Every structure is written in C-alpha cells, then in structure tokens.
Chains A and B, each alone.
Chain A
Amino acid sequence: MIGVENISVSLGKHAAVRNVSMAIGAGDLVGFVGPNGAGKTSLLRALLRLVPVDEGSIFLDGSDITGDQPHKHARDIAYLPQGQSVAWPLTARRLVALGRVPHRSTWENLSAADKAIIDKALEVTDTTQFADRPVTELSGGEKSRVLLARALAVDAGVLLVDEPTASLDPYHQLTTMEALKSAAGAGSAVGVVLHDLNLAGRYCNRLCLMHEGKVVADGVPRDVLSDENLARVYRIGVRRDDRGDVVVDRRLNDAS
C-alpha cells in the first residue's frame, strides 16, 4: 500500500499539488483522471520522491518514506514515466530486463526466475514478437508497450504508471489495461494516469478526479464521473450511451 497525507508540491512558484490525501491499497487499480495540469503527474512523482514535497507525508506499507531518496524502495515501487525516450538501441528484451536491476547484485546474471518474469511481461504487453529488435526501430506505440513491460518486470508491490495508453491503438489500449488489472489482481497496488474516461471507468475499481492540484472526487467510477463533476472539472457537457459510457457532447463555456 502506498499513500500520501496532506501533501503539497510546488513547481517553481506554481502549486501543482495542494494538500492531497489519498492511498492505493493492495489489489487496487486506481485511475487518476483530470484535465491537463491538474497535478496527476506531480502527485505520482511526489509518491516516488522525484519532486520535493513542501509539506505532508508519504507512506509505503505503513512506514513514512517522505525523506527517503528516490533510489530507495526500488524493489517495492515500479514507475513508468510519461513519454519516455530510450538513449541506446537496446533490444526490447534487454530493456525489459532492466526491470530486474533492483533485484540483482552488481555482476549477477539473470536467474531462471528473472527470465520467466521478463517473458511474462513481454507476453502480457504483446511485445514478444519484437523482443529481439532494437527499441529505437519500433513505432511509438510499440515502444511504449515495451516500456510498460519494463515496469511490470520489476514485479513490485506498487506500480505507478503515467499515461500508458497515450500512443496506443484501441486493441493495445485494452491489452494494457488488462495487464494493469491483472497486476492489481495479483496483489499489487496500481495507480495509473489516464485521459480516456471510459477506459478508466471500465477497468479501474476506483478513480481519483483531480482539478487544480486537488482531489475533488475519489470513489467508484460511476460516482466520480458524474455529469456534475465532468461539467465542473472538464467544462464539458456529456451524454451517456446504452452501456453508460461517457460521450462528450459539447464544451461548456460558462464557468459556472
């Protein structure tokens, strides 16, 4: 389990996260939704201590990790940053193997168990077929699936993923969400930043709706994605289709 209590984060003079408290429990798949600049990414980066928090505390499995450096707890928290680039033309398999780095000492080779975890991560992200190709030769969507596999290969109790579906085709958006759901099903605490509200509503068991640095709604998707919330936070008017999915209808220009 990972959580924050009353944390605030500022980027320069801008308050990116304001007095937020929330937690992701084992087995939870929590979606962070909200408009651009709502503070979703800053909240994830604060959980990883990649940005300093102005106030408040970060907890991992009951202990306070607020002051710990980012490289601590590498076995316990896996992170997939947004739109990552890869510096060298490593093969996809070698890249995914980096997920095992926290579990091995300096010159130790991959064990059979490590290899099984890597193979599984490649499989659930549907990337096995290009495992031996350099990632620099893959398309944007293929590369982001390989990078997700890298995060899954850490096999950590906490998995934080920033916009994993951004460049994916619809089929692989579903594969990705299923991979995250099965990680949660296996007992991990999973937090994922998403922009597709229906994908978030369908797969996540809980949503955190953020707006201007605050969590304005936290609960089951149906309650969080109410017409009122969407109107207030996203400034959109919506309709519902026959499965209850959100259909964006119009912009609401009136701020009230």
Chain B
Amino acid sequence: MGLRSTYGAATLLGALLVLTMIAALFLGYAPLGMAEVFQGLVGQGDERYVFIVQDIRLPRILLGAMVGGSLGLAGAAIQGLLRNPLADPSVIGVSSSAGLGAVVAIYYGFAASSAVIVPIFAIAFAISAMLVLVWLAGKDASVLTLILAGVAISSLAAALTTLAMNLSPNPFSLNDIILWLLGSLANRSFTEVWIAGPFMVAGWVLLLLTGRALPALSLGEDAAATLGVDLRRVRLQTIFGAAFAVGGGVAVSGAIGFVGLVAPHIVRPLVGHDPGRLLLPSALAGALLLVLADVGVRIIPGDTELKLGVVTALLGAPFFLWLIIYTRRTMR
C-alpha cells in the first residue's frame, strides 16, 4: 500500500512539518544565519538573537503548528461526525463563538488587564455555544439539527460581534477588534502557548478518541449504533473536543478560516477516505499549512504585513467553491 497508510502519511507529514518549522526559524525581517539562530536557540551569544529566536519566532511557529493542527484535526472529526466533506469548525459555530468571546474581552477592555483574558473568554464562549448546541440538539440530535443549530449560533455570534464593533467606545478598541478578527500570529509569546496549549491538547485527546467510531458512522447513525457506536458519546467528544481545540486556537490567533476544511481534503489522496484514519494526518497537514502560510506572510515584501486570516481565506474560499463543484460530481 506504500503511502496509502496512516502511519506512512503521518510520518511524511510530520517530517515535513518539523523541517518547515526549522526553516521558519531562519525567515523573518531580521536576516539571521545558521550560527545566530543556533546561538539564539540555546540562549547564548548576542542578546538580540536570543530575543528574536526565543521570544518572536519560536512562539509564533509553535502556535502556528498548534492552531493549524487544532483546526485540521477538528475539521476532520467534524466532517466524519456529520458525514459531510464541506463541514468545518465554523459550520457548527465554534470558531465564530470563540471569536465573539475574544471580541467581548477586547471591547470591554478586559484584555488590557491581562494576557490570559482573551483566551479564557474565547474558550468560555466556545464551550457555552457548544452547550447551547447540545441543548438545542437534544438527546437524539440528528446531523441536520446539529448543522442548523450551528448555523444559528454562528449567525448570532457574528451579529453580536458586529454589534460590539458598532457600539465600540473608542477607535482604538475598534481597531484592535478588526485587526484581531483578521487573524494573525504576529507578536505572540510563550504566554499564549502556555495559556491556550493545555486547552488545545485536551481538545486533541477528545477528538482523537473519536477515531474508532467515525468509520462506522460512514454507514449512517442507525447502522453505526448497531455496530456498537455510542452516538451520544461520540457527538459529545467531537463537540467538546472541537470547542477546546478551536476555542483555544482562535483565542491566540484570531479568526483563521478554511484550514479545518482544506486539511482533510489534502490528506485524503494519501490515506483514503476512512474518516478514522484521517484524523492524525489531517492534524499534521493543518499544522503544516498554517506554518507555511505564516512563513508566506512574513516573507512577502511590503510595508504592511498581510494578516494570516486574510491569506488563508483568499486561498481557502476558492478551494471551497471548487470543492462544492467536485463533491457534487463525485459524491452523489
């Protein structure tokens, strides 16, 4: 089978990811050579190099991989649960709710008091949105209810976000909100890694645990239940897993779209369509995509750095359109 195995693909993607992350250490406004980067990493030599490598580049690269991995993994799990190749964390309202939480934190000025406030608000809003979703969807949620509830929650979150911007007390917080909504990894520190990291890791564990149930769900909910899949549990695992992983990610990076949609599609040619085997490769592909996109943002010359969320949306939206046409043709 060669590459068409999960482990083969995961190894390849993992190796590519590590190489890309190492390469990313060398790229940025300050041109650093091999020696300077190495000195910076081990914390010796010129203080400026240590600062650039350890405080600017390393957290940015790590967060890129973690956020991208969260989005890729959540996207694959949600697509598997909803049996829909067009599903994405934003479809069930996680991303926009987390975004609203962060905007509320910035709007009321809480964000100024401590760096931990934005992630905490984002995760809290993602979780409460998911609780509303579970409550709306009820005991025996059908996929349709789940999607419609997600659309409703997304719309509400978007409406409240624009309301906050509309009523924004001063131009500075409006500016903050807009910049944050564009999505970026610039100027992030290890504080963000430590605050959001545990939530993301908890989300990854929950999402990876759905791996056994997702293949059986290809046959539909009734057949999956008779194959021993506890539907209620797999739904809750996916919902809470996505809320933790994406909520934590959105809190540090702002709104970054389409990675969760694109990553599973990139790995399907490598590992096939089995939704359980897609999870790990999809997480690695998401991480790779976001680190690459962030490198792109940093090395594209210009006076204003492009925002990461703008780049992923510019690349992702046409892909989404192509995907609709493609799936209409092949997945009837």
A and B co-occur in one complex: yes
Question: Hey, which bits of chain A sit against chain B, CB under 8 A?
Answer: 45, 48, 50, 69-72, 74-75, 77-81, 84-91, 94-95, 98-99, 101-102, 106-107, 134, 136, 147, 150, 154
From B178-186, B221-229, B295-303, the one touching the partner chain is B221-229
Interface contact B227-A154, CB-CB below 8 Å: yes
A87 and B80 alpha carbons, distance in the complex (Å): 9
From B18-26, B120-128, B269-277, the one touching the partner chain is B269-277
Interface contact B225-A70, CB-CB below 8 Å: yes
B230 within 8 A of A: yes
B304 within 8 A of A: no
Q: Which of B202-228 contact A (CB under 8 A)?
A: 211-212, 215-220, 222-223, 225-228
Interface contact A84-B223, CB-CB below 8 Å: yes
Question: Which of B228, B273, B274 is in CB contact (< 8 Å) with A71?
Answer: B228
Interface contact B222-A79, CB-CB below 8 Å: yes
Question: Hey, which bits of chain B sit against chain A, CB under 8 A?
Answer: 83-84, 211-212, 215-220, 222-223, 225-231, 272-275, 330-332
For the residues of B in contact with A, the DSSP-based class is loop
Interface contact A86-B330, CB-CB below 8 Å: no
- Can you identify 24 A-B contacts, CB atoms within 8 angstroms? A70-B226, A71-B226, A71-B228, A71-B230, A72-B228, A78-B226, A79-B222, A79-B223, A80-B223, A81-B223, A84-B220, A87-B83, A87-B217, A87-B220, A88-B83, A90-B218, A95-B219, A99-B227, A101-B215, A101-B227, A101-B229, A102-B228, A106-B212, A147-B219
Interface contact B231-A71, CB-CB below 8 Å: yes
A94 and B218 alpha carbons, distance in the complex (Å): 11
Given contacts A84-B220, A98-B216, contact A75 B273 (CB under 8 A): no
A81 and B230 alpha carbons, distance in the complex (Å): 18
Question: Which of B84, B211, B212, B273 is in CB contact (< 8 Å) with A90?
Answer: B273
Interface contact A101-B331, CB-CB below 8 Å: no
Given contacts A71-B231, A89-B330, contact A95 B218 (CB under 8 A): yes
A102 and B226 alpha carbons, distance in the complex (Å): 9
